Every structure is written in C-alpha cells, then in structure tokens.
Amino acid sequence: MNRRLLFLLICGILAPLALRGEDGYRLWLRYEPVANPDLRRQYTEGLGRIVLATPAGTESPVIAAARGELRAGLDGLLGTMPAIRVEARAESDPAVGTEGYRLEIKVQEGASVVTIAAARDAGVLRGTFALLRHLQMHRPISELATVSAPRIAHRILNHWDNLNRFVERGYAGFSLWDWYHLPEVRDRRYRDYARALASIGLNGTVLNNVNANALILTPEYLRKVAALADEFRPYGIRVYLSARFSAPIEIGGLKTADPLDPAVQAWWRAKVAEIYTLIPDFGGFLVKANSEGQPGPHDYQRTHAEGANLFAEALAPHGGLLLWRAFVYAADDKLDRVRQAYRQFTALDGQFRDNVILQIKNGPLDFMPREPFHPLFGAMPRTRLAIELQITQEYLGGATHLAYLAPMWKEVLDAETYAAGPNSTVARVVDGSLRPPGPSAIAGVANTGNERNWTGHPLAAANWYAFGRLAWDHTLSSQQIADEWARLTFSPSPRVSVPITRLLLGSRETVVDYSMPLGLHHIMAEGHHFGPGPWVVARRADWSSNYYHQADEFGIGAARGPTGSNALADYAPELAARWGDPATCPDELLLWFHHLPWSHRMRSGRTLWDELAVRYQQGVESVRALQDGWEALAPVIDEERFTRVKSLLRRQESDARDWRDACLLYFQQYSRRPLPAGVEPPAHDLATYQARKLRYAPGHPGDY
C-alpha cells in the first residue's frame, strides 16, 4: 500500500481515539499526525529537502541526534520523510552567535528546501526543535524563516536530588537518576530527559542537591556521573555537580577545608583534573556554603569571595564555571533575614574570579509566592550575577495545586533595578548587558521526578517548559509561552489551547490570593511548607511565622522602613521612595514593607482587614473558576489527563478554603473585626486548623 495512503488511513482510524491513552510522558514532543489535509500538503511540499548546515558539515553525535529527531517528528506529524543532508557552510553569521540558529526556506531546482544553519552543531539541534515546534503548532510554512539566539549563555536546571533518590522539595516521585544501577544500567528516560531540555533551549544540568553529599565526588560516583554525561552529550547538555565545601575533610583525608590552605587548594585542583579526565565537557560546580548549616569559608574566617575563588581557580584551566549561591542566612544573625545576603556580598563586589557567577534567588527571602526582586541585582556592578528560579512549587502547593509560574518570573525579570539608570532590568543584569564581558547564567530548581508524566501534576510541565523558553529568550511573554505549551501538549486547536492558556495565566495569582496576599509571606506550615501556618513558632525565630507577618492588635505586616529593619535602604532611591510610602507602594507588596493598622484605607476603599479577607475569598472563588473552566474542556481532553486534573483542582479548592479560613481566624484574633459581606464563614474553629498534622508530605523527609 502507498505510504501516504496508509498514513491517511491511520489518521482516519485514530481520529476517534485521539482523546485516549495520554499519560503525559511525551511532554511537549508528542508529534501527533496533522489531520488537516491542506495543512499536511503544505508541510509536505514545503519540506521537500532539509539541509543541516554547520561549518564542519560532518555527521557528529549532535547532528545524528538532530537527524533522529527530524525522522521521529516528521514521521509522526506527516507520515513522510524528506531527504536530509548535512552540508558545510563556511560563512559566519553574527546573528546566531555560538548556540543560535537560522531557519530558511527557499526553492531550489523546483523543490522547496529548508535549511537549518548554525555556527555549532548544538545550534542545528536547537533549530531542529524549533522547526518541529512550528509544525506541531500548525503554523504556516511561509512563516518558518527565523533567526534565534539565546540571550543567556548558561541555562541550567538545578536538581535537588539526593544519592538515595529522595528529591528535596520534589513532588513528582523519586530522582530520575538511578545511582545504584549506574553506570551499567542506563534508563531510556535519560535520553528523553536530555531531549526535553534541548528542545526548550537548556544546555546544562546540576545533578545533585545543593545540600551536597561529598560522596558524589568519589571515583565510584564520578563514573556514574560520566555515564549520565555520555547520555546527555548528543543533545548539547553539560553536567554540573553541587560540591560540598568540606569534601577535602570528608573524602580527602585532610584536617581542614580552609580555602587559603595550599593543601586544600592542591586537593581541589587534583579533584577537578580527575573529573575532566572522565568528563571532558564538565560544566563546573554549584556551591551552597554557610547557609542552613552547610559548611563554608566563614568556618575559617574567610569571605565568600575567597571560598568561591578556591573552586574557580581549580576550574579555570579546564574552562569550568563556578556558581556560588547567595542564599545565605544564619540563626545567630539578628539582622532582618531578607538583608543578610545583601550585607554579606555587596562588600565583595569585584573580588570574584572571572569564571565565578553569584547565583541569587529571585527574591531576598525564599521563593515566596510573591517577593520584591533581590536587592543584590541592583547592587553589584562588577560581579556576574545569575538568577535562581524555583520551578518546583515549594511554597505554591507542590504538584497538587495549579500555579503557572511564568508571570511570576516575568514580574522579576522585567523589574527595574536602576542599577545603571533607567532600563536596568533584572533580566539585563542577568544576561550580561549591564555587567563586564564574561559568562552569564540562569538556573531553575527542577520539578521533575520518576512519575510517568515527569512533574506530577499534568499541568506542572508548563513551568518546566516556561523556564526553558525564558532562559533562551526572556523577552517572550507569559501568554505566548502558555499558548505554545498548550498547543504542543494538548492540541493546536484554539478550542483547546485558548481555554488552557486562560486557566494557566491566572493561576499563580490565585494561589497568592488564597495563601499570602498583599505581600504577606512565610506563613506556611512548618517543615513541608504545605498549607497554612501563621501560628508557627519554630526553634528559630527566622523560621517562625510571626517573624514575618508581625500581626498584633494594631495591625499587620513587616516593618522594613527606617523605623523597622530598613530593608528598603538596600534598593535604589527611586524604589525606596515608591515602596516606602504606603500611598504609592503597590498593594501586592504592601505588607512586605509596611506594618499598617487594620483600619488602613486601601485603594479599593476597603479597610486593610476587609481587603485581606476579600483577597482570601477571591482566591477560593478563583479556584472554583478554574474548576469550571477545566470542566468545560471535558469533550476535548483525553480522559486520563482530564480526570487527574479535575481531581487535583477539587483538592486545590479544599486546600484554598483551609488557607482562607485558618489565616482569617488567626488574624481575626488581633483585628477583632467581623468578616466583610461576601466572605464565607469558616468551616471550623481555629483550634481545629492548628491541631491538624500532615504526615509524610512529598518533598520533605520529616513526619510533620
């Protein structure tokens, strides 16, 4: 039978079954058949021949991966396979840089030819995924021509995975890395993971937890790491490791880890050389030091710069990168926790080696549902800075709640720092536009696990996808990315993609409203961080909720102006002036910076108490709207994913009501005011919520 006829027959047979059997494993790389005959004809004719053009013009492992992806994608989409040729293209193309690509479509000798050209093989692979993405979204072939290059050089996933396969703050099962069976046994998922990263423009992965185990640097485990590096290399993905500062003591037999000790320096040089012997394209180290009990240079009265430079100097001869986390705070430091990193690092500006990048969380506290951007982004002009975003939803409902995070990340990336005058956004600080020439980086804490659909919640993969797309091009809009993901993951039909995009776009604000509205922060339950806990009093003040909300009979909110901790002084004068006045401070950050009376009049005309209660109610109602929106998609979503999301949204509504009721009852003790009209009465008394215990929550090993 003619192959084209067979393909049409198969499409006709499968069309009624298109809503069955979707488990989410294929993510956004589904390559479903193009059923529209006119569009399929347009694609088939437009893809008469495909040329993969690089300076070398040879069939490298990366080019082989690109060719394999084209075969899989075009066979799935069209049931045809055009001729694919690899050609040398000598001319340079500044527009694509070292990792970008150019897609061209021309008619040569009466046939349509699509060329994917790049300066390096990895760029051809990126262009291959861009071509297939274009076809999956059913866009006209005439709009194919494009030039694209990454704005940030190092685009890295951070895995908080332990060697026992437990994932800290992981909500999608155990680690992808089966350390016990490596290096001999290599799961198919390793290649599919690398494909997923490459398809959205990522080029690096940190395999292990920032709370590192020194064993990862032993020969036994380095051979396992090398096996993963071999799996990822054809997709242009470099591996990195989190290094434990005290490794020279724990696995090296030294009595000190002092960064200025010659024996320690020699140990790290030898260890790095050992790694590069096994993994020639090793990316470098990520280090968490002197934070939350981790060892670091302060243990030896050394600075963060001296600690970071120890690693940087060992990595430099091999081209390695050192990412030093700026998430530092201490129990014995009486300074406002959100100011501690600023105080520790600003005095070190300009003291770091050229291959050091400070990796800074998006906000000054800890991945809260909403924070102002971290003040370090506007305060270290002579230091290279990376932003760390949390894809896994530690404070936004784990993989139980729907929260599309691109709007949150765009809020930070587009924020004005005034670091070098106007148009000094966080994004321009991170991409190197406002820093000395050198490497740039962006990191995302992964939300992946070994569950079949990778991320637990069927819609949570949108955040993995969004991180990659923003890492490649931070000018993309949240809506554009959501629309892409919905089309690729569910259907290119607007009947499906438009409602899903709408659900995604408002979901993060929904979580903010029912959990920590108006700038409230760190009022979650202890340990696992799931659910409300404004009453939590922990063994450390800075782990206690009242350290942050400061609720009393007068009012609520953190006093961070001149009469409080003065955290406002860490920002540019333009921002300090705007945020320091309750009249001009955005409602979204009001209680982050101000302790205000319950009677304070809000922009809405309501009192602060009434506004707080209305926001909590609004969050609950928004979850109900999400449920209604999803229910309307029943006829066009496969049963497996539809049912799973429906049940999770039902749980999310229950959790949202608990957040609303518990928080309002707790704060009502201080406000002594009634709930305003329209706010539903709590289902239980405060003692009931305080007595609840959530046992063995995912992502946290404790019994809470």
**What is the torsional sign of CA 11, 16, 18, 21?**
negative
394 is catalytic: yes
> Which residues sit opposite 361 in a β-bridge?
388
Q: Is 571 exposed, middle or buried (0-12, 13-18, 19+ CB in 10 A)?
A: buried
- The dihedrals phi and psi of 82, each to the nearest 5 degrees, come to -70, 165
Half-sphere exposure of 217 (CA within 13 A, CB side): 27
Return d(Cα 401, Cα 24) in angstroms, integer. Answer: 17
Q: How far is CA 435 from the centre of its chain?
A: 23
Return d(Cα 544, Cα 552) in angstroms, integer. Answer: 15
- Catalytic residue of the set 59, 220, 292, 639: 292
Residue 97, token pair as written in the block:
């840089």
The amino acid at residue 289 is: A
Residue 286, token pair as written in the block:
């990520």
Return d(Cα 525, Cα 545) in angstroms, integer. Answer: 9
Q: Is 361 exposed, middle or buried (0-12, 13-18, 19+ CB in 10 A)?
A: buried
Nearest alpha-carbon partner for 489 in 450, 457, 511: 457
468 to each of 72, 140, 152, 193, how far by Cα in Å? Answer: 22, 24, 11, 13
Return d(Cα 53, Cα 58) in angstroms, integer. Answer: 9
CB 392 within 8 A of CB 169: yes
Rg of the chain taking only CA atoms, in angstroms: 26
- Catalytic residue of the set 306, 366, 416, 680: 366
- Catalytic residue of the set 394, 451, 542, 610: 394
698 to each of 393, 531, 535, how far by Cα in Å? Answer: 11, 13, 22
Return d(Cα 67, Cα 82) in angstroms, integer. Answer: 11
Long-range contacts of 480-489, Cβ-Cβ distance < 8 Å, separation of 24 or more: 481/406, 482/404, 482/406, 484/28, 484/133, 484/137, 485/28, 485/461, 486/462, 487/136, 487/137, 487/138, 488/28, 488/29, 488/30, 488/133, 488/136, 488/137, 489/27, 489/28, 489/30, 489/461, 489/462, 489/465
> For residue 488, how many other CB atoms are within 10 A of its CB?
23
Name 618's Cβ contacts closer than 8 Å, sequence gap at least 6.
Answer: 513, 514
Residue 457, token pair as written in the block:
């919640």
The conformational region for residue 603 under phi > 0 = left, psi -120 to 50 = alpha, else beta, is alpha
99 is catalytic: no
292 is catalytic: yes
Residue 472, token pair as written in the block:
């490649």
Return d(Cα 363, Cα 365) in angstroms, integer. Answer: 6
In three-state secondary structure terms, 103 is strand
Residue 588, token pair as written in the block:
């979204």
Q: How far is CA 199 from the centre of its chain?
A: 15
Cis peptide before 295 (omega within 30 of 0): no
Residue 210, token pair as written in the block:
């920032």
73 to each of 87, 146, 243, 474, 590, how far by Cα in Å? Answer: 21, 19, 38, 27, 49
Q: Which residue has the tokens 């040089």?
A: 269
How does strand 555-556 pair with strand 204-206?
Answer: unpaired
Q: Which residue has the tokens 């046992």?
A: 695
Name 166's Cβ contacts closer than 8 Å, sequence gap at least 6.
Answer: 174, 175, 701
Active site positions, annotated: 292, 366, 394
